């Protein structure tokens, strides 16, 4: 409960204080939930079950306000509550709308924490939607004449997806014995394959849009590109993890009978998305757009891994979710600083930025290397596991998806080259302490996970095992 | 019944003490009376006070004041009180207007509590006739005139249809009492030469068309956008909320009377619901006028509530109540802000909202929450209302629910226009927004009902 | 103790990387050198321990921590110091130390010297991880790590755009190979359930020769080797990689990193032994690469480019050896090649240093007098690479030719051709650079001076090594006691889980005396070519013509067979076209517009609907009545 | 007597048809006339048709409810007409027209 209330209170404070807000304090506040997350870990028992920490009757006696915790949730909470302070810190250069963005970001943090902890289906949906609202307003502060169109497209896309999920959840709810949205009750509903496919399709749609998987991605690039930095960071760093988390936490357990039906489609689409995003990213000139497509590619690989239903795929996917969050926020932070310093983020207009700011250069390089999954950076173990799981599913698909390690090297290094190397008149303005702090945390994440990925794997292992058991009970296809 | 009396006599008193005077204190007096009557309704429901004597004046086969009716009356009275309170500064202010609105509310009470078709008819007329006047109360304004005339002509026309229907029902069943005519619609008095089911079916259709006209369900909604746009703001919001909700209650009670032959009418009501949802949402997308947009939005909402008519089984009236509350409060909120902006800019297109977020962020926030509630996005009351509605209808009417969800998605497109103009566009004037306290109170109601609906519902039902 | 081999360069990297900017320049350089030297010393100790251990040990094994443990998939950060990795580690740290020391002087003008040394140390670290790792994943770590360092060092002078491009090219081409390697690893894991060398190779023992899986794994691994060791078709990055500072070229692109492919194949001898078809492929690709690179080398005028193509060509030879199954010969050539090619590169660096970063040999000439030490050592290097008798290159090449001859005469002839060309272009470069007249207009001849001691000392040491390096694996005819040292080292059976690295018996390469005589007859052939080259470039003092004057086959050679252009046409441009098409048509038009199109359809429907709302009450009434009639009609009739 | 016998021969259905026809006449009048006053009169005609039907049913079934309803309808119709005419006067003052087809400012 604390992890929802604290950011919310912080959000209110920032909203009330307005321009007088101290960003350092806001960042401190937004990192407070980490402490509670740490405490929550003590509630875990060895079984890895999803343990309710807070439970109260809500919309009806059976539709309850239930917050639960396990390793999976823990990982997502850590991700959220580490990244949000960084996003808040990074926002300092954004003078005009800063307090507004900070307040919205904090609100978002509360909602995201809710999404990851919600054990009640309706609650999950509500937090899911709630997380959409601040990001909508954050993206709305973008400049440009297409702002409304882009945000509307984004909102409609995700909203339609969420409505489909709602419909599926209600359907399940009506079939529960006790008319409850509780996770366990929803899971206990026996569905025949047809029903399961219908329900699964609805739930999946919401997640696929959010991730996004290939045919549902067209909101993404524009939104990432045009949104203010904190918006892009929230979207790319945390929000799309909601979709992946949702697949694992809600789709797999609730409609396991349909997995066999969707698996080939999902993996096919994901692999197509991996290549599609990578190939498009090869030629982008706008750095944010490039990162948007690279994210499309990377995240599709995670989705593919999850759908292989193998331990490597799922746990590697979870690892990569965390990693991708760190990396993409790093990339967006870098781009933001470049844009704020030079006034542009178009590759052709940049160059030679490496020469005057060493810390920036080192960090940029580090993030770039993490993104292209060089060993001993965080990108490697996850990508290795994902490709391996995909190989176990189908070697040819793994080969296709593996092309991403070539393409990602091409486009990321191209971005590094055209912005940092060569001769150029523009220069990066000196970094402020908050940026250096943000860099330091992210850099620690990149290298630390690169060396010790097992920490994250251990965190989620038991929870994944339980979900895997459910899937195999329904299908018997898990290896 | 006490609410009825208080409202009625309050209106009469208002009419006399305020002759030829125009003061906003009358509004406070009127809304005070309405809140009192709302409170008394609730108090009676809970048995805190008893006005059995008053009740005994009315034959039970004419009107009935069960707890359900009391809560509906309380809701209507509550909403009207807020309307009057929020529109104190209306440019068409006068005690006569307030009194007319309160008389109209009396009609709404009758529509809520009728047990006899005559009372329903009288209720509709008592509701409508003051409204005709109210719609035209901006005498110099040609739009207001046009709205009044349109509303009047079409209203009278639909009354005729309603009456023909009630005559058919009368002939088909032999009764005008709600309790009796619904019992065994298939056997009734034998009328030689007339196929009775035809008479009853036609009667049901004609009567409900009369009411569907009032709730502005497609294709009987054509008056709504024009009249909403032309009428003074206060009248518009009254029509959009109280009138619509009361007509729905009347329709709900009428249709559940014929619940035994549901298969006869569920089909076409479903079709109408689908048409209404789609038409309302689609047509709203290209509107530039705020009131017109809201009119179409109210049409769309009528479509959602038509789903409720289908699923009503006598025990779930609280869905309608909650939906009415959510929709009513949100509408009042949005209309109030739009009205106040209109007072500043004399502009009732979306342009009036330009730059609202800069000039008064709190109001902009209130606007956002109101709009989100209308759009049905969590954590607003609108979401919970829709959720109840859809989850109850999923089982029997999946297609309707899907249409409703689709409609909600479409609705986002135009509801977000408010946000677009308030947050993205730059405004020239900085409007003066009064009554922020009331706005915030409304917001709080929306949020409370959205976050803790169960507390609310468990208290009342 | 094993950990120190790895940790020391890493420490160097961290210290220079973090504090480099505040450390004085020479100290940064010496620090970097010291760490690598420390690593070398540790390696030596460990190696002698390993050799002298009683009872005899196969390997020293060190597990640091568990890297990944998912489901039944398990990878440790673990190291294995056996005889093969010891040899590689000795080359890496030994030659690395020399090149580090050389760089202190060579790079002394550069502002970001510390950066250079930290990258070099990182490279040494990665390379050591590659060769010392105890499983395939560790090797992959190092494999990618050295690729990264190569990228960083090629693009070290980042202000030059084309250098950056070359760096990117190197990284990407390596990544193509890496993908193959990765797939190979997956295939290994899928079939053998482990990545540990000992476990995997133990399981290979049970398979039949020519099994499909073995062939597939062998070929996939070889794709990785192709990328790293610059074989056709992935060789084009190596000549471009000469954009990096010369010590980098010497260390990474001649002595160590590019031989990782050979290390991989030797390491996986157990696999390749079972995959004759894969060996056949390796043989022919190695041959083709060697020939092609040698031919291109004929017409190159950039001193480093010539050396680069020569490296590609020599790597080709090594793969020929591997293809023949002569693993010892290949590794032997790796060692000797590391000596003389590092020497040549460092010598070239010395020349470039003296010429103020002039690399075109047509702009040199007559440097013999001004740079005597460089000249002498370069000559030794040249003789060694051309296979002058009794120098290191002679023995290693000899062994390779023996192996070829034992297998395939056709290949022998072609290999001979390639070796002959090598002799010609190496001497061409040598003569044009050091003999003849000075031809540069920009720098006066007088100002050219011999490089400082710090640069010449490594040259001298490497020259000595090039002279005597053949001793590592003398042929049998040199005497019982000292011959075949390397072979005995590698085919040592440690017992237990640790099987010998080399399983195939070397006896298959015993050749008849006639053939041995043929081999001996080669020396006069090479002498003849040497004389031809001398006549042309020393006696006639011919200068290679300008690129524009090239005609016919020479032009094709000067343009490197147009391979880069062909790759551009057939891979880069189509992909870019696909990318643009996807961006413009599929993403914008198909996906985005289709969604927006739904909105537009809605708008259109809405405008249709609003036509009903024409403001005229009569119409409204008519619509109402129509609606009513329809309702009645459908329900009553 | 003979005329009464004609009445006796009339079945209830005849009343229904008659009033439906009357209603439709009024309805079509509403639809096709443009003058607001005539429309108002046509609506009255519709209401009277309903009245007739109510009375007929009432007498047929011997139930007083229908006749009482008729009185209410008449009263309300009168009130409605009064308000309606007032509105009409209002419109007429502003537009000098009583033709409804000219009132189409509000649309879209």
pLDDT in tens, A151-185: 888 888 888 889 899 989 988 888 888 888 888 88
Domain that holds residue B437: 258-461
C552: left (phi over 0), alpha (psi -120 to 50) or beta: left
Subunits with 3+ Cβ pairs within 8 Å of D are: B, C
Do residue C615 and residue D103 have CB atoms under 8 angstroms apart?
Answer: yes
Residue B10 in any domain: the answer is no
* Pair of tokens at residue B260: 């035994």
Domain that holds residue A378: 258-479
* Pair of tokens at residue C548: 């524009």
- Dihedral sign of CA atoms D12, D18, D19, D24 in order: positive
Name the nearest CA neighbour of B88 among B363, B434, B437. Answer: B434
CA angle B199, B201, B203 (to 5 degrees): 65
Cα(A219)–Cα(B213) distance, integer angstroms = 40
* Pair of tokens at residue C339: 């000596």
* Pair of tokens at residue D53: 């039907």
Under DSSP, the state recorded for B427 is: P
Cα(C122)–Cα(C262) distance, integer angstroms = 21
DSSP string, D34-100: -BHHHHHHHHHHHHHHHHHHHHHHHHHHT-SHHHHHHHHHHHHHHHHHHHHHHHHHHHHHHHS--BG
Provide the domain count of chain D: 1
Whether the predicted pLDDT of A479 surpasses 60:
no
Name the nearest CA neighbour of C476 among C388, C399, C408, C400. Answer: C399
Residues 27-86 of C with CB under 8 A from A: 65-73
Residue B302 in any domain: the answer is yes
User: Under 8 Å CB-to-CB from B173, ≥6 apart: which residues?
Assistant: B180, B181, B185, B188, B200
Residue A76 in any domain: the answer is no
Half-sphere exposure of B2 (CA within 13 A, CB side): 20
Cα(D34)–Cα(D42) distance, integer angstroms = 11
Query: Is B153 in the D-facing interface, judged by CB distances under 8 Å?
Result: yes
What pLDDT, in 10s, does the model give residues C393-449?
Answer: 888 888 888 888 877 788 888 888 888 888 888 888 888 888 878 887 777 777 788
Nearest chain D CA: its distance from C621 CA (Å): 6
Provide the domain count of chain A: 1
Residues in chain B: 461
Q: Taking CA atoms, what residue in B is nearest to D56? A: B171
Judging contact as 3 or more Cβ pairs under 8 Å, the answer for A and D is no
* Pair of tokens at residue B1: 């019944």
Which pLDDT score, from 0 to 100, does residue B188 have?
Answer: 46
Mutate to test the interface with B, among A140, A168, A206, A226 (most CBs of B within 10 A): A140
Residue B219 in any domain: the answer is no
Say if residues C123 and C146 touch (Cβ distance below 8 Å).
yes
Which pLDDT score, from 0 to 100, does residue B335 have?
Answer: 92
Instruction: Show the low-confidence residues of chain B (pLDDT under 50).
Output: 185-190, 192
Under DSSP, the state recorded for B136 is: T
A125-138 average pLDDT score: 88
Provide the domain count of chain B: 1
Which pLDDT score, from 0 to 100, does residue B185 have?
Answer: 47
SS3 C235: coil
Q: How confident is the model at residue D1 (pLDDT cuts 50, 70, 90)?
A: very low
In chain C, domain spans: 2-558, 565-636
* Pair of tokens at residue C297: 């080398």
Half-sphere exposure of C244 (CA within 13 A, CB side): 30
Under DSSP, the state recorded for C78 is: E
| Dihedrals phi, psi of C65, to nearest 5 degrees | -160, 170
The mean predicted confidence, pLDDT, of chain A is: 87
Q: Is the ipTM of this complex over 0.90?
A: no
Q: Taking CA atoms, what residue in A is nearest to C597? A: A153
Strands (E), C56-101: 59-70, 73-82
Cα(C349)–Cα(C250) distance, integer angstroms = 9
SS3 A349: helix
Which pLDDT score, from 0 to 100, does residue B186 have?
Answer: 46
Residue B366 in any domain: the answer is yes
Half-sphere exposure of B455 (CA within 13 A, CB side): 11
Q: Report, in this order, helix, strand and coil percent for chain B, each rounded to 5.
A: 75, 0, 20
Neighbours of B345 (CB within 10 A): 17
Name the nearest CA neighbour of C403 among C266, C289, C485, C505. Answer: C505
* Pair of tokens at residue A349: 């207009």
Instruction: Show the low-confidence residues of chain C (pLDDT under 50).
Output: none
Mutate to test the interface with A, among C10, C63, C70 (most CBs of A within 10 A): C70
Name the nearest CA neighbour of B136 among D60, A343, C618, D90. Answer: D90
C637 vs B contacts (CB less than 8 Å): none
Residue B58 in any domain: the answer is no
Which pLDDT score, from 0 to 100, does residue D46 have?
Answer: 93
Which pLDDT score, from 0 to 100, does residue C468 have?
Answer: 86
Q: What is the largest CA-CA distance in chain D?
A: 61
Cα(A183)–Cα(B43) distance, integer angstroms = 39
* Pair of tokens at residue C2: 């094993």
A367-391 average pLDDT score: 90
Say if residues C140 and C185 touch (Cβ distance below 8 Å).
yes
Query: Is B194 in the D-facing interface, judged by CB distances under 8 Å?
Result: yes
Q: Which residue has the tokens 């000596």?
A: C339
B175: left (phi over 0), alpha (psi -120 to 50) or beta: beta
* Burial status of residue A396 (CB atoms within 10 A of its CB: 0-12, 13-18, 19 or more): exposed
Q: What DSSP element (H or E) covers A248?
A: none
What pLDDT, in 10s, does the model give residues B125-145?
Answer: 999 999 999 998 888 888 898
**Whole-prediction pTM:** 0.90
A457-472 average pLDDT score: 88
Q: How confident is the model at residue A477 (pLDDT cuts 50, 70, 90)?
A: low
A294-304 average pLDDT score: 92
Query: Is B362 in the A-facing interface, judged by CB distances under 8 Å?
Result: no
Q: Taking CA atoms, what residue in B is nearest to C613? A: B222
Of C603, C610, C627, the CB nearest to B219: C627
Q: Which residue has the tokens 């009506």?
A: A174
Q: Which residues pair with C360 in a beta bridge?
A: C302
Residue D57 in any domain: the answer is yes
Which pLDDT score, from 0 to 100, does residue A143 have?
Answer: 66
Residue D44 in any domain: the answer is yes
Query: Is C182 in the A-facing interface, judged by CB distances under 8 Å?
Result: yes
Cα(A65)–Cα(B179) distance, integer angstroms = 42
Residue D104 in any domain: the answer is no
Cα radius of gyration (chain D): 18
Query: Is A282 in the C-facing interface, judged by CB distances under 8 Å?
Result: yes
* Burial status of residue A263 (CB atoms within 10 A of its CB: 0-12, 13-18, 19 or more): middle
Q: Report, in this order, helix, strand and coil percent for chain C, each rounded to 5.
A: 75, 5, 20
Which pLDDT score, from 0 to 100, does residue B189 have?
Answer: 47
Q: Taking CA atoms, what residue in D is nearest to C609? A: D108
Do residue D30 and residue C621 have CB atoms under 8 angstroms apart?
Answer: yes
Do residue D108 and residue B140 have CB atoms under 8 angstroms apart?
Answer: no
Which pLDDT score, from 0 to 100, does residue A478 have?
Answer: 47
Residues in chain A: 479
SS3 C59: strand
Which pLDDT score, from 0 to 100, does residue A278 have?
Answer: 92
Cα(A54)–Cα(A119) distance, integer angstroms = 10
Under DSSP, the state recorded for A118 is: B
CATH code (residue D19): 1.10.287.3510
Which pLDDT score, from 0 to 100, does residue C509 have?
Answer: 62
Say if residues B230 and B239 touch (Cβ distance below 8 Å).
no
Under DSSP, the state recorded for C252 is: I
Q: What DSSP element (H or E) covers C503?
A: none
Nearest chain D CA: its distance from B390 CA (Å): 31
Cα(C484)–Cα(C537) distance, integer angstroms = 39
Say if residues B149 and D91 touch (Cβ distance below 8 Å).
yes
User: Under 8 Å CB-to-CB from D96, ≥6 apart: which residues?
Assistant: none
Say if residues C457 and C377 touch (Cβ distance below 8 Å).
no
User: Under 8 Å CB-to-CB from C320, ≥6 apart: which residues?
Assistant: C283, C286, C287, C290, C400, C404, C411, C415
Cα(A4)–Cα(A66) distance, integer angstroms = 12
* Pair of tokens at residue A363: 């960090």
Cα(A281)–Cα(A220) distance, integer angstroms = 13
C613 vs D contacts (CB less than 8 Å): 107-108
B411: left (phi over 0), alpha (psi -120 to 50) or beta: alpha
Do residue A159 and residue B409 have CB atoms under 8 angstroms apart?
Answer: yes
Domain that holds residue D93: 2-99
Neighbours of C119 (CB within 10 A): 24
């Amino acid at each position: 409960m604390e992890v929802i209330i604290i950011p919310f209170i912080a959000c209110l404070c920032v909203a009330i204080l307005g321009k007088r807000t101290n960003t350092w304090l806001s960042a401190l506040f937004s990192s407070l939930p980490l402490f509670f997350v740490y405490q929550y870990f003590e509630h875990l028992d060895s079984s890895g079950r999803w343990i309710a920490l807070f439970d109260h009757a809500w919309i009806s006696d059976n539709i309850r306000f239930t917050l639960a915790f396990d390793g999976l949730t823990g990982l997502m909470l850590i991700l959220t509550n580490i990244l949000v302070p960084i996003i808040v810190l990074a926002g300092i250069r954004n003078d005009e709308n800063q307090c507004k963005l900070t307040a919205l970001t904090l609100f978002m943090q509360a909602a995201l924490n809710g999404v990851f902890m919600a054990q009640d289906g309706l609650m999950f949906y509500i937090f899911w939607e709630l997380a959409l609202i601040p990001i909508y307003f954050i993206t709305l502060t973008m400049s440009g004449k297409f702002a409304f169109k882009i945000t509307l497209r984004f909102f409609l896309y995700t909203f339609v997806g969420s409505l489909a999920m709602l419909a599926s959840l209600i359907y399940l709810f009506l079939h529960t014995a006790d008319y409850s949205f509780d996770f366990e009750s929803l899971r206990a509903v026996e569905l025949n394959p047809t029903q399961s496919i219908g329900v699964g399709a609805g739930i999946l749609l919401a997640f696929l849009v959010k991730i996004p998987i290939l045919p549902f991605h067209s909101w993404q690039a524009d939104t990432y590109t045009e949104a203010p930095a904190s918006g892009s960071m929230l979207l790319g760093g945390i929000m799309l993890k909601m979709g992946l988390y949702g697949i694992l936490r809600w789709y797999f357990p609730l409609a396991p009978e349909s997995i066999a039906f969707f698996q080939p489609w999902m993996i096919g689409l994901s692999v197509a998305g991996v290549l599609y995003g990578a190939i498009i990213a090869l030629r982008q000139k706008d750095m944010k757009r490039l990162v948007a497509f690279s994210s499309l590619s990377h995240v599709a690989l995670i989705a593919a891994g999850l759908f292989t239903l193998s331990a490597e795929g799922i746990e590697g996917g979870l690892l990569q979710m965390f990693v991708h969050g760190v990396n993409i926020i790093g990339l967006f932070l870098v781009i933001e600083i470049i844009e704020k310093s030079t006034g542009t983020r178009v590759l052709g207009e940049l160059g030679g930025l490496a020469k005057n700011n060493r810390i920036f250069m080192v960090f940029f390089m580090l993030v770039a290397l993490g993104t292209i999954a060089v060993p001993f950076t965080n990108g490697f173990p996850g990508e290795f596991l994902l490709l391996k799981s995909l190989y176990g599913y189908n070697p040819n698909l793994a080969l296709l998806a593996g092309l991403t390690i070539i393409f990602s090297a091409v486009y990321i290094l191209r971005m590094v080259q055209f912005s940092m190397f060569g001769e150029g008149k523009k220069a990066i303005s000196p970094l402020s302490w908050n940026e250096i702090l943000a860099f330091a945390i992210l850099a620690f994440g990149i290298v630390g996970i690169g060396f010790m990925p097992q920490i994250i794997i251990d965190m989620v292992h038991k929870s994944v095992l339980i979900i895997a058991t459910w899937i195999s009970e329904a299908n018997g296809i898990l290896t | 019944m006490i609410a009825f009396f208080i409202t009625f006599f309050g209106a009469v008193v208002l009419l006399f003490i305020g002759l030829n005077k125009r003061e906003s204190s009358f509004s406070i007096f009127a809304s005070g009376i309405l809140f009192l009557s709302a409170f008394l309704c609730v108090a009676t429901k809970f048995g805190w006070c008893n006005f059995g004597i008053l009740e005994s004046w009315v034959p039970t086969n004419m009107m009935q004041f069960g707890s359900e009716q009391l809560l509906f009356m309380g809701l209507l009275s509550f909403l009207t009180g807020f309307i009057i309170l929020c529109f104190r500064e209306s440019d068409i202010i006068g005690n006569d207007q307030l009194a007319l609105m309160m008389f109209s509310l009396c009609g709404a009470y009758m529509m809520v509590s009728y047990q006899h078709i005559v009372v329903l008819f009288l209720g509709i007329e008592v509701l409508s006739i003051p409204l005709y006047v109210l719609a035209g109360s901006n005498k110099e304004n040609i739009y207001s005139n046009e709205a009044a005339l349109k509303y009047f002509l079409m209203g009278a026309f639909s009354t005729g249809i309603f009456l023909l229907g009630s005559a058919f029902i009368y002939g088909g069943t032999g009764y005008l009492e709600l309790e009796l005519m619904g019992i065994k619609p298939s056997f009734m008095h034998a009328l030689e030469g007339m196929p009775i089911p035809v008479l009853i079916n036609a009667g049901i259709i004609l009567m409900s068309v009369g009411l569907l006209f009032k709730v502005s369900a497609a294709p009987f909604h054509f008056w709504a956008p024009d009249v909403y746009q032309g009428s003074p703001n206060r009248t518009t919001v009254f029509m959009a909320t109280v009138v619509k909700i009361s007509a729905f209650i009347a329709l709900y009670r009428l249709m559940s009377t014929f619940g035994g032959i549901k298969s006869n009418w569920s089909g076409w009501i479903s079709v109408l619901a689908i048409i209404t949802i789609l038409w309302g949402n689609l047509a709203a997308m290209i509107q530039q006028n705020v009131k017109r947009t809201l009119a179409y939005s109210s049409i769309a909402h009528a479509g959602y509530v038509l789903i409720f008519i289908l699923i009503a089984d006598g025990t779930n009236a609280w869905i309608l109540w909650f939906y009415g509350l959510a929709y009513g409060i949100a509408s009042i909120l949005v209309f109030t802000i739009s009205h106040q902006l209109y007072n500043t800019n004399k502009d009732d297109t979306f342009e009036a909202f330009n730059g609202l977020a800069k000039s008064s962020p709190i109001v902009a926030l209130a606007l956002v929450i109101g709009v989100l509630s209308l759009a049905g996005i969590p954590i607003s009351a609108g979401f919970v209302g829709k959720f109840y509605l859809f989850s109850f209808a999923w089982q029997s009417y999946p297609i309707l629910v899907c249409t409703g969800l689709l409609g909600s998605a479409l609705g986002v497109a135009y509801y977000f226009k408010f946000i677009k103009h308030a947050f993205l566009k730059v405004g020239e004037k900085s409007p003066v927004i009064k009554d922020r306290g009331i706005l915030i109170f409304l917001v709080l109601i929306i949020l409370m009902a959205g976050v803790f609906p169960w507390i609310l519902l468990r208290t009342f039902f | 103790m094993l950990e120190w081999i790895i940790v020391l360069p890493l420490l160097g990297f961290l210290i220079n990387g973090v504090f480099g900017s505040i450390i004085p320049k020479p100290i940064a350089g010496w620090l970097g050198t010291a760490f690598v030297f420390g690593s070398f010393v540790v390696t030596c100790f460990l190696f002698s321990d390993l050799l002298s251990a009683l009872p005899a040990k196969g390997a020293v094994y060190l597990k640091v921590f568990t890297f990944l443990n998912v489901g039944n998939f398990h990878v440790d950060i673990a190291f294995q110091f056996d005889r093969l990795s010891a040899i590689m580690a000795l080359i890496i740290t030994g030659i690395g130390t020399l090149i580090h020391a050389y760089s202190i002087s060579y790079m002394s003008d550069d502002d970001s010297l510390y950066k250079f040394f930290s990258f070099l140390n990182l490279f040494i670290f990665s390379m050591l991880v590659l060769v010392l790792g105890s499983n395939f994943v560790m090797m992959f770590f190092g494999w990618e790590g050295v690729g990264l360092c190569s990228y960083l060092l090629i693009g070290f002078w980042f202000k030059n755009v084309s250098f950056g491009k070359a760096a990117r090219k190197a990284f990407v081409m390596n990544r193509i190979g890496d993908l193959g390697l990765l797939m190979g690893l997956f295939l290994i894991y899928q079939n053998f359930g482990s990545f540990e060398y000992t476990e995997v190779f133990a399981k290979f023992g049970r398979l039949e020769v020519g099994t499909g899986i073995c062939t597939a794994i062998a070929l996939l691994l070889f794709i990785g080797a192709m990328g790293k060791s610059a074989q056709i078709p992935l060789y084009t990055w190596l000549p471009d990689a000469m954009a990096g500072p010369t010590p980098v070229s010497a260390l990474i692109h001649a002595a160590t990193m590019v031989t990782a492919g050979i290390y991989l194949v030797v390491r996986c001898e157990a696999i390749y032994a079972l995959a004759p078809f894969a060996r056949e492929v390796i043989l022919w690709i190695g041959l083709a690469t060697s020939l092609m690179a040698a031919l291109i080398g004929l017409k190159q005028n950039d001193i480093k480019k010539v050396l680069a193509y020569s490296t590609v060509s020599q790597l080709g030879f090594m793969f020929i050896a591997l293809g023949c199954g002569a693993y010892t010969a290949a590794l032997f050539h790796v060692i000797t090649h590391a000596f003389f090619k590092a020497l040549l590169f460092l010598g070239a660096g010395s020349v470039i240093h003296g010429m103020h970063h002039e690399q075109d040999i047509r702009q040199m000439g007559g440097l013999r007098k001004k740079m005597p030490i460089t000249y002498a050592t370069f000559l030794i290097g040249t003789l060694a690479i051309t296979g002058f008798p009794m120098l290191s290159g002679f023995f290693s090449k000899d062994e390779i030719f023996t192996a070829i001859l034992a297998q395939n005469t056709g290949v022998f002839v072609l290999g001979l051709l390639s070796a002959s060309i090598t002799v010609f272009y190496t001497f061409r470069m040598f003569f044009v650079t050091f003999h003849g007249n000075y031809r540069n207009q920009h720098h006066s001849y007088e100002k050219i001076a011999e490089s400082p001691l710090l640069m010449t000392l490594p040259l001298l040491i490497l020259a000595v090594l090039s002279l005597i390096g053949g001793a590592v694996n003398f042929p049998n005819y040199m005497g019982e006691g000292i011959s075949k040292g390397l072979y005995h080292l590698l085919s040592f059976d440690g017992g237990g889980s640790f099987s010998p690295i080399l399983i195939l018996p070397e006896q298959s390469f015993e050749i008849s005396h006639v053939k041995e005589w043929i081999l001996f007859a080669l020396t006069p052939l090479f002498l003849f070519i040497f004389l031809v080259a001398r006549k042309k470039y020393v006696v006639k003092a011919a200068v290679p013509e300008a690129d524009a004057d090239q005609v016919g086959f020479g032009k094709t050679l000067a343009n490197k067979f147009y391979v880069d252009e062909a790759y551009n046409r057939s891979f880069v441009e189509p992909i870019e076209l696909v990318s643009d098409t996807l961006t413009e048509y599929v993403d914008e038009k198909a996906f985005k517009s289709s969604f927006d199109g739904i909105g537009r359809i809605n708008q259109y429907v809405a405008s249709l609907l609003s036509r009903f709302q024409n403001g005229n009450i009569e119409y409204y009434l008519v619509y109402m009545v129509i609606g009513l009639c329809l309702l009645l009609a459908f329900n009553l009739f | 007597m003979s005329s009464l016998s004609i009445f006796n021969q009339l079945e209830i259905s005849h009343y229904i048809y008659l009033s439906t026809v009357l209603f439709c006449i009024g309805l079509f009048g509403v639809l096709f006339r443009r003058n607001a006053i005539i429309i108002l009169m046509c609506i009255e005609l519709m209401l009277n048709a309903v009245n007739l039907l109510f009375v007929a049913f009432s007498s047929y079934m011997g139930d007083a409810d229908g006749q009482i309803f008729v009185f209410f309808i008449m009263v309300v119709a009168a009130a409605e007409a009064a308000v309606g005419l007032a509105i009409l006067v209002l419109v007429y003052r502003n537009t000098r027209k009583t033709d409804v087809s000219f009132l189409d400012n509000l649309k879209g």
